[in-house]
Chains A and B, each alone.
Chain A
Amino acid sequence: MPERVVAEVSLYYYLVVGITLGLYSLLSLSLNIITGYAGQPTLGHAAFFGIGAYTSALLTTRAGLNFWLALPLSFLTAALVGWVVGLASLRVKEDFLAITTMGINFVVVSFFLYSPYFGGALGLGNIPAPALFGFNFDKTAYFGLVAVVTITVVLFSRFLEKTWMGLAFRALRDDEEAALANGIKVQAFKLWAFVLGTGLAGLAGSLYAHHITFISAGDFGFPLSITVLAMAVFGGLGTVEGALAGALILGLAPEVFRFLADYRMLVYGGLLVVMMLFKPSGLLGRTELKINLFRRLPARRRG
C-alpha cells in the first residue's frame, strides 16, 4: 500500500476508537447520575441508548428530519420512556430494581427485534451523517462533535453535583428515611435522576446511530448494559473522574489487548465481581453499587 493510504487508514482507525470512547464515556457518565449520584442500580441502561438510536434513525430516515433536530428529540424520547419506566420500577430498590431494569432491557430489545416498523431483525440502515450549512461531517468532524457533547455532559455533571438536586441525590443515596425527614421527596428525586440519566443515554444513542449508520436490536442488549455498569463501577461511582476513567480504560482495553476481545464479557463480568469484593468504590469513586447479592459474597467468605 502507498504510504498515504496507510496513514489515512490509521487516522480513520484512531478517530473511530476516539468516537467509541466518547460514546462509552457518555453512557458511563449518564449511568453515574442514576447509579452513582442517586445510588439506584440499573442493569438496563443499554435500552435507553437503543431508544435514542432508533428515535434518531427513524426521524432522519423515515420522517426526513434534520440530525440537529433528531439529536435533542432522541434525548427527550429516551427521557420520556425513562420517566414512564421509572414511575413503575422505582417503587422497588437495590437488587429488585436491578432485576426489574434488566427485564426492561430485554423487553425493549425484543420490541425492536419483532416489530417490522423498527426494521425487525434486519435493523435500520442508511442513517445519514450530519451536515451543517452544506458541510458534510466526515469522521474528523464527527469526532469533534462527540468530544464537544462529552465535554458538555462532563460540565453538566459537575454542575449537577453542586446543585440542591445533586445534594438531594446524594442524601437519598445515603439514607432514604433521613432524606425524607429532611424534606426531600425521595420518589420525585429518584425519578429525576432516572429521567436525566436515561435522556443522556438516548443522546449518546443518537450519536451512535449517525456514526455507525446501521443499527439493529442486538447492539443494545443486556451485555452492553453490563459493560457500561462495569465501566462505571471500575472507574468509581459517584464522581465524574471515575465514570471517565472507567469508560476510557475498559473501552480501550479490547483495542490494546486484541486477543482478549472475544472474552470481553467474561472479563467485564469478572471485573465487576472482583471490584465489588475488593474495592467497592472503584478507582476514583465515592460510593458503592447497591446490589446486596454482591455485597453478601464477601460476608459469606469471611464467615
Chain B
Amino acid sequence: MLLELRGVKKHFGGLKAVDGVDAGLAEGEILGLVGPNGAGKTTLFNTICGVYRPTAGEIYFAGRKISGLPPSTVAGLGIGRTFQISRVFKQMTVLENVLVPQGLLFYNQPWRSLWHRPGLAEAEKARRLLQRVGLAEKVGLTAAQLSLAEQRRLEIARALALKPKLLMLDEPCAGLSQEEIRAFVALVKELRQERLTMVLIEHNMAVAAELCDRIVVLSYGKKIAEGRPEEIQRDPAVIQAYLGEEEVERPVRASIR
C-alpha cells in the first residue's frame, strides 16, 4: 500500500466532515473519490495533504505516518496536488510556476536557498513538463493570462515537477467544457501508462468510471461504498446518496432524517 487511511476523522466543532474513513491505495492505482456535495471529499483530500490535522485516525504514506505533518513536508515526501479553485502563482510566468517545486531541496534549508538559483536544467525540465500538458506555447505568459482549463493544466505540470509518488487532483474537470474534459481524460490516461498513482475527486461519474481503477464513495463523511466503477454505479446505497430514495412512499418528514 502506498497510501493507507486508518479511521480518519476530521470534525469542525460539531460538524463531522470526515467521520472514520478507512481506505488504501496500491502503487500505480487510480482511486476515485466521489460523493454528493458536502460529502467530505475535499476535507478528506486536504487532510491527506496536511492542510488539516485529522481529529482521529492515522494516515500512512510509503510506510511513514504523515498525519499531523505540515503540508510543505507532505509535499516534500512526494504527494503533489492540484486545487479545485485555481491556485496558480498568478503574477509569475508559466515557466516560473513550474520552476517553483523544483527547489524542494533548498526549501528545507532556507539559508542555502539564498545562495542557489534555478539553472538551465530546471528550466529545461519545466519546458518538458509544460509541453506534456500542452502549454509549450504559453511558457512566457503570466499565469493569470491563462484560461481556466490552461490553469488546471499548469497546476498539473507544477505538481508533476515535484516528482510525486502520488498525484492528487481535486475536481480537475469542474467548470471545463466537454472538449476540455476529453483532453484532460487523455492526459490522465497518459500518466496512468507511466504507472503514476493518483487520487481523483470527481463529480462526473462518467469521467470517474473511465479513469479510475477503484472508486470510494463518501456521503456525510462516511464511506458508503467501495469497488470497481461498474459495481459502484449499480450500488443501491450510491444511487440513494446521489439521487435520493427511489419511490418515496414514507411520509416526507421521515425521509428528511
Q: Which residues of A contact B (CB under 8 A)?
A: 160, 162-165, 167-168, 170-171, 173-175, 177-186, 188-189, 192, 238, 286-287
Contact = CB atoms under 8 A, between A and B. Distances in A.
Given A180-B70, A189-B110, A168 B88 contact: no
B5 interface: no
User: Nearest 9 pairs between A and B by C-beta?
Assistant: A164-B103, A164-B113, A174-B89, A178-B87, A165-B113, A180-B71, A183-B75, A164-B106, A182-B101
20 contacts: A160-B114, A164-B116, A167-B96, A168-B113, A170-B91, A171-B89, A175-B87, A177-B83, A180-B51, A180-B71, A181-B80, A182-B72, A182-B104, A183-B75, A183-B76, A183-B104, A183-B162, A185-B70, A185-B107, A192-B110
A163 B87 contact: no
A9 B51 CA distance: 63
Contacts of A286: 91
Contacts of A185: 70, 72, 107-108, 110
B107 A174 contact: no
A174 B75 contact: no
Given A162-B117, A170-B89, A177 B51 contact: yes
Given A163-B116, A164-B106, A171 B92 contact: yes
A276 B39 CA distance: 41
A192 to B, nearest CB: 5
Given A175-B90, A189-B110, A238-B91, 8 more contacts: A163-B114, A163-B116, A178-B89, A181-B80, A181-B87, A183-B101, A183-B107, A184-B107
Contacts of B110: 165, 168, 185, 188-189, 192
A175 to B, nearest CB: 5
A181 B166 CA distance: 13
B81 interface: yes
Given A168-B103, A184-B107, A178 B88 contact: yes
A182 B116 CA distance: 18
B115 interface: yes
Given A167-B99, A167-B100, A168-B100, A181 B113 contact: no
A163 B111 CA distance: 11
Contact of B91 (A168, A180, A287): A287
A162 B81 CA distance: 25
Contacts of A184: 72, 100, 103, 107
B244 interface: no
A76 B113 CA distance: 20
A286 to B, nearest CB: 6
A192 B107 CA distance: 12
Contacts of A165: 106, 110, 113-114
A184 B89 CA distance: 13
A171 B115 contact: no
